[in-house]
Structure 1
């Protein structure tokens, strides 16, 4: 029964300080017996001021930190599912990119967030992710994680069932949903959406989240969750503070649930 660690963060404006927090958490996770650790969306830099953030986002910093994460995974012998960090593309736009670093080295998996968060909230918050970020175009799975086949998503992707339907078709055993959910949307929809996606895919959902008031002024919801394939919440880290938590994953639960409710096997194409 693999043990995972989930890191809830309050990331700020300094990539180096954020990396240090992740590095410390990875070492603590390994000491606690975890085989892999999950971090939130924008774990390395959370800054809504795009001009200021641009000073920390370039091709050299991207290579520097991916190399450091690769070494960290290898040296600690723990897989790292880095929720995401901003990456400058050749087009000049950014990608909101997830990474998966294996403890044994080898290929680094990458997933670019597909759905852009372009909304005006009743709280007065306005977000236009597509002004700076280019949406991804590929569904990505990690087929040899300690949890089996792991599907990669990021935050707002959670609201689009078609992506999770595809991950279900690919028989993912677990799905990562790193996030920096706003407080209003989190209070309304976070728990119900994550439980729904776990039930639909008959898979574990691991959602490491940002929490609290950040240096750039935004406030995030927290409540990092682990949900099992039946929709039961195995871990909820609350909405008060950052921290590290552990969860044992009973992979036998996947087959049990899929036998009781064989929705993946019964799935049919809807006539048009």
Structure 2
């Protein structure tokens, strides 16, 4: 007989900085883990999003030292839970920002990554 898989979808609000984003995501993740979740799914820009002077821009960091990614990987390893991270903003070449999604395994290792591309321009005003 097949075993059920318990999946938790965590709905976070994009926060203005990494510390706030971690402070919102980890308590939700702990609650879901405590209720038996085996896979956690987080939304796009769970690492943050800032609006300044009419410009929307996420806080970003290099992948190998990204505070939100590191915190979520550590949580996955600690709890032995897989995580699908909708996206965090990572530094790209030439001062670009990459909107990157991740699949993290129960050891906290990155198993897959996906760089999202947007096929259209939009102006919000």
Indicate the TM-score class for this superposition, using the shorter chain for normalisation.
Answer: 0.7 to 0.9
Q: Which residue of 1 aligns with 2:9?
A: 6
The 5 Å alignment of 1:8-23 reads 8-23=11-26
CA distance in 2, matches of 1:74, 1:97: 20
| Matches for 1:1-272 after TM superposition, within 5 Å | 1-49=4-52, 53=57, 56-59=59-62, 62-120=65-123, 125-126=124-125
Task: Tell me the CA shift for residue 3 of structure 1.
Answer: 1.0
CA distance in 2 between counterparts of 1:94 and 1:67 reads: 18
Shift of 1:116: 4.2
- C-alpha contact (below 8 Å) 1:5/1:34 kept by paired residues: yes
Query: Offset at 1:110?
Result: 1.0
For the 8 Å contact 1:12–1:46, the answer to whether it is kept is yes
User: Following TM superposition, by how much is the alpha carbon of 1:47 offset from its aligned partner in structure 2, in angstroms?
Assistant: 1.6
Q: Max radius of gyration: which structure?
A: 1
Please state how far the C-alpha of 1:48 moved relative to its aligned partner. Answer: 3.4
Q: How many residues align?
A: 121
Can you give the 5+ residue segments of structure 1 that lack an aligned partner in the other structure? 127-272
- TM-score of the aligned structures, taking structure 2 as reference length: 0.80
CA–CA distance in structure 1, aligned partners of residues 115 and 63 of structure 2: 19
Distance 1:21 1:48 in 2: 18
Q: What is the root-mean-square deviation in Å for CA atoms of aligned residues? A: 2.6
Conserved 8 A contact 2:63-2:91: no
CA shift in 2, pair 1:105/1:28, >3 Å: same
- Normalised by the size of structure 1, how large is the TM-score? 0.40
Closer/same/farther in 2, CA of residues 62 and 33 from structure 1, 3 Å limit: same
- The ranges of structure 1 where at least 4 consecutive aligned residues each deviate by more than 4 angstroms after the TM superposition are 50-54
Q: Deviations over 1:17-69 (max 9, x none)?
A: 11111111111111111111111110111123387957x42328843332222
